[in-house]
Structure formats: C-alpha cells, structure tokens
A and B are shown apart, each in its own frame.
Chain A
Amino acid sequence: MHEQSLVKTLIDQVQEESRIRGLGRVHEVHLRVGEFSGIEPRLLESAFAEMAPAYWDTLVQLSVEVMPLTATCETCHEVFHVEGFHFVCPRCGGNVQVIAGEEMQLVSLRAERQAGCEEVSQ
C-alpha cells in the first residue's frame, strides 16, 4: 500500500486530535495495524520518520502494534488465526467472519497537557 499517503493522513489526524484536545508537544503516536490491512509496518515507520520532521520540531516516536488476522466461524463459532489467508474454518469448513487484523487505528497519543486544560467537546 501507499505508505506515504497514509502517513500524511495519520499526521493530519494527530494534529487535529491535538488541536481539539488542546495538547502540547506530542511525544509518541501509538498505532494498531492489522496483519491484513495492506500496511507493512517497517515501511510505515520509515515513511513516518522521513515525513514527521516537516510537521514537528521535536522528535515524535511512532509505535506500531500488529494485530493478527483473526476470524470466527459462522457455523461452529470457532475463533482462530487465519493461516495462509485461508478464509475457511479449520474445524468445520464453514464460512468465516474476520474479527481482527484489517484495522488501521490511531490508538493513543503520549503528549503534554497543561494542568487544568479541559478537552474541548467535538
């Protein structure tokens, strides 16, 4: 996938969240990306390291948590890790529904917040 365009979207979102919440310096961005999200974490990290200095004067760390591709069987309700992109229940052969592993989620920010600074409601 196109990591640079994704990083630009991420940076815009971090800046918007910081503005809404009245945050100061951002130290760390915590992301959760699914094994089947189309994102390669190492490419995402290098694109972020390259692009972040254009938006922040101080170092912002990116931590990427990879979520395994997990599905549940619609017939026998077995929950399992999808191996080799084989989207069929390994126990009964039933149809499955993916429950994790496709996400690209901004989980949290580590940032400075002034005492007494309340969040602005969105």
Chain B
Amino acid sequence: MSIETIPIQKDIQGKRQADAELWRRSLMARGILCVNIISSPGAGKTSLLQAMAKHWSGRNRMAVLVGDIATDRDAQRLAPWMPVKQLTTGGACHLELSLVQSGWEQLDSAGVEFLIIENVGNLICPASHDLGEHLRLVVLSVTEGDDKPGKYPKAFRTSHACVINKVDLLPYVPFSVSAVTLDAHRIQPGLPVIPVSALSGEGISQWCDFLTEKRQQLLLTAEPIE
C-alpha cells in the first residue's frame, strides 16, 4: 500500500454542464427558445412576463417555470396568461436543472415557442447555474440604483441581454441609463441594454422583437437530435 498523487483533471460541474447542454439542444430541436431571467427580488420579472403576454396577446406561445423560496403567488399572477408551474425551492437561493426539468414535465407544453424560467430573486447564485437556457436575461429596475453591474459582475458577464425596468420612474429616482450601460459594458462589451416599463408598456415591443429575432436565429441553426 502506498500513498500516491493521482491526477484527475476534471471539471466539478462537468456532468451538470453536459446535462444542461443536452437539455438546451433538445429544446432547440423542438423550436423552443429557453430564457432564464435573473434579477434581485422585486425588479419586476413577473410584471415583465405579464407585459409580454399582453403585447403578444396569444400570437407567440410562452410557458413559464417560476422559482421562489415559498408560495405560489407568482404562478397565480401568471396563470390567466400562460401555462405556468411554480417551483418552490424550500430555501435554496437558485434553481437547478433537475427542478426545472421536473417542472417542465408538468407543464402543458404543446405548441410552446418560448420557455421562460423566472429564477429566484437573487443576483448572485443563479449566475453560476446553467439551466440549459439559450438566453440569459438580467433585469435591473431603476429603483435599485445604477451601480449594480459592477457589484454583481458575474450576473452581467454571463447574461446575453439586460432589461432596465420601471423606466416610468426615471423622473423620480437618481438613476442614469447611460451610466448603467457604461458600467455593464465594462463587464461585457456589447451587451444589449433594453429600457422598458412593464407598467406602462414602454419598450416592451422592442424587447419582444428582440426575443422573436433570437428565436428565429435559433431555428435557423437548429438541428434535430436523435
């Protein structure tokens, strides 16, 4: 018996990443664009989804998996608009792929074009978990302050788009859209920044067009898998 150093050189998240990649490809093959929305609590993720449903009014079919630590309040808000399944994490600060997949199995997914995952309100842990999404969206509301990108670099580095919500409140709060854009672009040059108000509907059509275009791009590259 001897003590030896045995080289392994394997990524700890390797299996999770492979599972996420498989899931991403299977959704793509079915023509579904999956969006993982992350933000701090109260930034307006659920309100954004309601505004999108109003804008599309049945033209594009969304299904939603909504994560929270407790209650099904968000699912109740969204149920009149779209198929929705509440995922309660029982205290965990982020969603994991296995929970998302079990929720998906319970959703009415016929004809779905967009699967939206509304993550637990938290700008830290969700940034480190790949849920097999095609697009990660970070939502920041103007009441949170324009210093957030630099304070939560991973959320902004790993996202593909940033929605600035509650711009109807800009006259009342010290928040600069150009300052936040500059800060976000230090972390990720070229990150699309889309100002919206889920309440008034301002900017919602631009955001919805952005998503529709991303889905069309996905369909062009999609290859059916076995």
Contacts and interface: CB of A to CB of B under 8 A. Distances in A.
B126 to A, nearest CB: 10
Interface stretch (B2-10, B74-82, B164-172, B217-225): B2-10
B5 A110 contact: yes
B188 interface: yes
Contacts of A84: 150
Given A95-B189, A115-B2, A108 B11 contact: no
Interface in A31-50: 31, 36-38
A2 B13 CA distance: 13
Contact of A1 (B2, B9, B128): B128
A31 B11 CA distance: 10
Interface in B187-217: 187-190
Interface in B148-162: 150, 153-154, 157
Contacts of A91: none
Contacts of B92: 2, 5
Interface in B1-43: 1-13, 15-16
Contact of B125 (A2, A9, A104): A2
Contact of A87 (B1, B2, B9, B157): B157
Contacts of A37: 128
A105 B7 CA distance: 11
Contacts, number: 94
B136 interface: no
Interface residues of A, number: 35
B184 to A, nearest CB: 11
Interface residues of B, number: 32
Contact of B3 (A21, A105, A111): A111
B124 interface: yes
Interface string A78-118: 00000011111000000100000001111111111111000
Contacts of B154: 36, 38
A105 B153 CA distance: 21
Nearest to A96: B189
A15 interface: no
Contacts of A2: 92-94, 125
A10 B13 CA distance: 9
Contact of B1 (A6, A21, A112): A112
Given A1-B125, A2-B92, A85 B153 contact: yes
A23 interface: yes
Contacts of A106: 8-12
B202 to A, nearest CB: 30
Nearest to A113: B4
A114 B96 contact: no
A32 B208 CA distance: 41
A41 to B, nearest CB: 13
Contact of B96 (A5, A31, A105, A109): A5
Given A38-B127, A113-B4, 13 more contacts: A5-B92, A13-B10, A17-B10, A21-B6, A85-B186, A86-B187, A88-B189, A104-B12, A105-B11, A106-B12, A107-B9, A111-B3, A111-B4
Interface of B: 1-13, 15-16, 92-94, 96, 124-125, 127-128, 150, 153-154, 157, 186-190
